């Protein structure tokens, strides 16, 4: 492992409602500042807890003046920090305070080790594919956004199906009624896409995943396409709205005639890695996979 440059300015992004995380963030900042590292802590803003979008990070949060972003929280916190890091083109290190922490590199009890290895430059940086999305409404209004894990076109009304079509590189592939479609990066293949029945894709595979959700069709299968592919989803439902979701956050509503175009983003995420643990090992440990079949131990 070639030593990396010691960070001089670190942006710490934390969960806005976890007091334990806030306290540890303060201790972490003090330890880094004692070694001459400038630290800024961003906990985000908290809206009314009666609202489903209660947890937000202000639009003014930026990693422009940082050379490393450190996320303290679960995968949701890492996802929010990932956009900041990607926009600033700086590495991102996640420390897990959540349940699974698939995107995190370290656990809560390893903060002391994290600090010492950061200061010594004992880490590598791994580039991960992200997604860019453009939605076009029937009125010509456009919405542009970015996601690390996935982009989803979902039905906005639980009791109704969403009629849509899928095109890949300009060719119509499928057309059906469904709960929606998830397009995931390799990193995001273990999130929403996997829950919808999609394949697990190793993060270094140069591909994107397209997964229908509960399609009313006999042959609506998940697809793995090249990362250079352009995926276009068109909404055909009359009287039923769709919702465009990026990394779990609703961006806009979609009506009949709306289209969504998804491609690989020009802004990847640069994840900090401190261990040589292979992805297969991470997959087994994070998801607590039962590696022994029912025949194990039988004669």
Calculate the alpha carbon distances from 104 to 52, 99, 119, 147, 272 in Å.
Answer: 25, 11, 19, 17, 9
Residue 205 DSSP class: S
> How far, in Å, CA of 156 to CA of 161, rounded?
9
Residue by residue, DSSP assigns 260-287 as: EEEEE-SS-EEEEE-S---HHHHHHHHT
* Angle 185-70-33 from CA coordinates, rounded to 5°: 165
Tokens linked to 167:
């095109």
Residue 112: is it exposed, middle or buried by C-beta count within 10 angstroms (0-12/13-18/19+)? exposed
> How far, in Å, CA of 30 to CA of 33, rounded?
5
Catalytic site residue from 60, 67, 75, 206: 75
Q: Are 162 and 154 in contact (CB under 8 A)?
A: yes
Asked about 204 being catalytic, the answer comes back as no
Catalytic residues: 75
């Amino acid at each position: 492992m070639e030593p990396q440059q010691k960070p001089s300015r670190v942006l710490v992004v934390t969960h806005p409602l976890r007091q334990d995380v806030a306290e540890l963030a303060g201790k972490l900042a003090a330890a880094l500042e004692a070694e001459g590292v400038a630290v800024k802590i961003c906990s985000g803003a908290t809206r009314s807890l009666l609202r489903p979008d209660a947890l937000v990070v202000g639009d003014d949060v930026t990693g422009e003046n940082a050379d490393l972003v450190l996320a303290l929280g679960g995968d949701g916190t890492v996802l929010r920090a990932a956009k900041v890091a990607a926009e600033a083109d700086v590495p991102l290190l996640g420390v897990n305070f959540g349940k699974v922490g698939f995107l995190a590199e370290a656990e809560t009890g390893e903060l002391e080790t994290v600090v010492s290895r950061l200061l010594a430059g004992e880490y590598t940086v791994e580039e991960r594919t992200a997604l860019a999305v453009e939605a076009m409404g029937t009125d010509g209004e456009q919405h542009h956004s970015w996601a690390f894990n996935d982009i989803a076109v979902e039905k906005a009304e639980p009791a109704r199906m969403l009629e849509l079509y899928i095109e890949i590189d300009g060719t119509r592939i499928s057309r059906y009624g469904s709960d929606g479609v998830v397009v995931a990066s390799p990193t995001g293949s273990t999130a929403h896409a996997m829950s919808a029945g999609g394949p697990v894709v190793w993060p270094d595979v140069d591909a994107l995943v397209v997964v229908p959700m509960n399609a009313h069709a006999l042959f609506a299968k998940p697809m793995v396409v090249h990362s250079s592919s352009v995926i276009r989803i068109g909404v055909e439902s009359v009287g039923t709205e769709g919702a465009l979701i990026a990394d779990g956050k609703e961006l806009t509503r979609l009506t009949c005639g709306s289209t969504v175009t998804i491609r690989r983003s020009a802004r990847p995420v640069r994840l900090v890695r401190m261990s040589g643990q292979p992805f297969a090992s991470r997959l087994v440990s994070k998801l607590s996979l039962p590696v022994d079949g029912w025949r194990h131990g039988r004669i």
